[in-house]
Structures are given as C-alpha cells and as structure tokens.
Amino acid sequence: MKRRIWKKIMGICLAAATTLGALIGCSGSTASETEPAAQVSEETETAQSQVTESESETEEVEDERPFEGVKLKYATTQTASTGEENLELIELVKEKTGIEIEFTIIPNTPSGELDKTLVSLMAGDEIDIIYNTVPGLKPFYNAGVLTPMDELAASANYDMDSIFGDYLPNFDGQVYGLPAFSDIWITLYNKQIFDDAGVPYPTAEGWTWEKYIETAKQLTDSSKGIYGSLMLDYDCYNYMYALQKGWNPYKADGSGNFEDPLFKESLEFFYGLGNDEKIQQNILDFKASNTPWNAFVTSGQYGMFMCGGWTTSILNNFEKYPRDWTVGLLPMPYPEGQEPTTLTVPGCYAVPSTSKNKEAAFAAAACMAENQYTLGFGRVPARVDLTDEEIADYIENSLAKPFEFDSLTVEDFKAAWFDSNRKALSEKIIGAGSSEISQIIIEEGQLYGQGAQDIDSAISKIAARAKEAIEQEQ
C-alpha cells in the first residue's frame, strides 16, 4: 500500500517537475528581458534626477515652459534609450518645454521582421513620439497610426515650412513628422591613393560625374587591386543618375515612371561604371566577393567612395578601423549641365495617433527636431532657416572637430553638407508599392548589370512588376 502511495507521489512529482521545468524555461526569457528594462528605468531615473537638478537652475524661465509636468512616452530601442545623445535630448526637451519624456523600450527590428513599434501602435498602445526616416514613416502612415501635423502646427502658430523646407515628410499633402537631421550623400576620397597615382585632389566646385569618372580612371590600377571608385548595391544607386536629371519615380497619375528614358540611362550609367568604365568592381564581382559596406576604410584599396554621409562616423573610430592614411571630403557628383544635387534621407520625429496629448507631443518633437544637432553628435541639421554664421559656428566648433586627423576644413563640410544651392533629392522611392519596387529594381537591375538580361528586358520587367505593386497597394 505504502509502496503504491510512494509511486503515486513520485509520479505526480515527476510530471509536475516536467511541467514546471517547461514553464520556467518559457518564463526564463521574460526574466532576462526585465533585467535590461530595469537598467533602462535606472538610467531614465538618473537622467530625470539630472533634469530635476537643472530644474532649480532654470526657475526663471518656468513661464516659458507651457507643458510643465506633462509626461510623454517615446518609443525607442534599448540601445538608443541608453545612448548619451537621447539622454541629453530628453533633458533638453525638459529644459525648454517642461515636458518629461519616458522611454518605451521597443525591441530592435532586424531586417525582414515586423516593426515592433508599428505592431504596438496598431494594437493601440499609447505612445507619444516615435523616430524614423521619411521612407520609414511611410508604412506607419499607410497603417493610419500617424497624426497629421498641419493642424497642430497651425494652432501652435509654428511655421514648419520656413524651418524645415523640403525636408518635411509629406504624404498626400499632409506633414507627418518634423525632421531633426539629414543624411546627405557625399564623396570620400583616400588621399594616399591620389598621392601614389600622382593625381591632384579634386575640388567641390563643378564636381560632376564626368570628373568623377575621369579621376577614378587615373586612380584605378587593377593589377594592384586598386579601384578608383567604390559604390554599394543599394537600390538608390540604380536610379540616382535619373533623379539628378529630373526623373520622378511616379507619374502625375500615381503610376510608375520606369519606362522613362532617364531611368534606362541611369541603369546603364551605374552598371557601366563597373562593366564599361571599369573604375569599380562590376556588380557580379562585387556580390561574389562579398565586399562589405565599410571596405573603403578597412581595405584602403579604393580611391573614392560615394555613399550617405553616415559613413563618416567610422572615420574617427580608429580602434575599430585603424588607418594611417587621410580622407578628403567632397559633395556628391552631379551630371554635367545639370544643377548640383545630392541624395538625402532625413530622420524625423512623429506623433502617433495613439498619443493622448498631441499638442505636447508636437511641442516636444519640434524641440527635438530644431535642437538635436546642437548636442554635438555630428548631426547635419535638417533646418533651412539657419544663417551662414550659425552654420559656420556649428561646423567649426562642433562638426569638424572629430575629423582633425583628416584635416577636414569648415569649407569641406560646407561644400558637402551645407551648400544651399545644392538641391536635396529623396534617396528612397516614397509612394505606393515603394518597398516592393526597391526590391524589384535591385533584382532586375543587377541581372542586367551582370549580363543575365538586356537593358530593355530589365526595364520592361521593372515597369510591369512595379505596376503590379502599385496597383496592389492602391
């Protein structure tokens, strides 16, 4: 009898242990997730206590802080929430507006996965501020989770156009975010390769594609594995030349504009740099050799690198990217006979529709967008209202300092990033089906580039598939 009872107890215990084990296994991840969350709240508390200290110092301006005591939620990642820039930014907002910002931690979104912020907003979570690039905001707009800012700006008597101009994210005639900084395309060049080839350093004035190609040819020495030019395999390389010549990805009626001769010319131009001009790897060699995005700095084998300005962030990271050669900075080249242009993608703060205090959220977003560049993290402000003196002061005292090793001058930065005569064009296609269209352009364009199909087939396939994508989204 006793034996049977023991057996029974043992059986129940074993089954319970197995079940508990599995449940603990499941909850283990939750426990580990709460740990960094606690760290974040600690960090946030520290930031908030710093804010409290500064509060007493700025009592006299309290009247100018219309949102004193208002608390807002800013959805951001764990890394960004503990970053110095974001912590200083929320302190700045508190100083200027009285708004206290708390971080709502959203997991990172690796490529190909659902955007967790979007999922949270669609589920109705209360979030007051989000950050994204202009093309990144488009899915949020499509999902109907963004607040249009025109009315908020009007009631706050805030002239968005005069401050941010063309950088404003405008979807179907309404503004849905305030741009804080802009990633402007540039040309970096390796002075060592120029010196070795006996080629004089180029200047920003009249820096056209024709000059770029001519210079790159002089630098290229394939026997040593040196190429005059490096470009990556992003979608925008396929159509940048067309954009610079006035091409628009969409026609006035919203249909695709891929049969436009300018688009064809652009594909031929980009892939021709590798296939015909031979100033850079052709696309097949580029893909097959797995050339990384940072090859310009890591290999020292490329004369010039044409990409977004964000790539400069690795120049002064000598621990990770050691080098003994210096870098020059130029603007993006443009087609001869055209106005100087560049590509850009602005980063914006937007107010989700789930925000319960949209006026305060708008004020906080405006404060962040206007002032983030002043924090000294090397941002190119997306403001068109800054005076020449303000820009010069910013470049000299903030932007240029980290690049002392490369002796980059205020003039270099001015020409590359602050040339008011240079028109900024959207780096990304923004419109119906744009995400699918980007993928289509890469697929079909690269097939043309590697000789697997002719240019006309590539164009007709891109046009047909883009048409389908646009119709699907419409």
Site residues (vs other proteins, CB under 8 A): 8, 11-12, 14-16, 18-19, 21-23, 26, 112-114, 118-119, 122, 139-140, 142-144, 284-285, 287-290, 433, 435-436, 439, 443-444, 446-447, 450, 452-453, 465, 469, 472-473
**Would you say 48 or 133 has its CB closer to other proteins?**
133
CB of 435 to other proteins, least distance (A): 6
Query: Which DSSP state fits 199?
Result: P
**Would you say 61 or 288 has its CB closer to other proteins?**
288
CB of 269 to other proteins, least distance (A): 21
Please tell me whether residue 142 adopts helix, strand or coil conformation: helix
**Would you say 21 or 261 has its CB closer to other proteins?**
21
CB of 300 to other proteins, least distance (A): 18
Contact 176, 148 (CB under 8 A): yes
Which token pair is 236? 């925008």
CB of 123 to other proteins, least distance (A): 9
Kindly provide the b/e burial profile for residues 223-260, where b requires at least 16 CB atoms within 10 angstroms of the residue's own CB. eeebbbbbbbebbbbbbbbbbbbebebbeeeeebbbeb
Contact 43, 75 (CB under 8 A): no
**Would you say 140 or 258 has its CB closer to other proteins?**
140
**Would you say 369 or 469 has its CB closer to other proteins?**
469
CB of 77 to other proteins, least distance (A): 19
Which token pair is 217? 């040819």
Which token pair is 387? 């005076």
CB of 115 to other proteins, least distance (A): 9
Single-letter code of the amino acid located at 70: V
Single-letter code of the amino acid located at 10: M
Stated as kind and residue range, the H or E segment containing 364 is helix 358-371
Please give, one letter per residue, the 3-state secondary structure of 295-352: HHHHHCCEEEEEEEHHHHHHCCCCCCCCCCCCEEEEECCECCCCCCEEEEEEEEEECE
CB of 2 to other proteins, least distance (A): 17
**Would you say 105 or 437 has its CB closer to other proteins?**
437
**Would you say 179 or 433 has its CB closer to other proteins?**
433
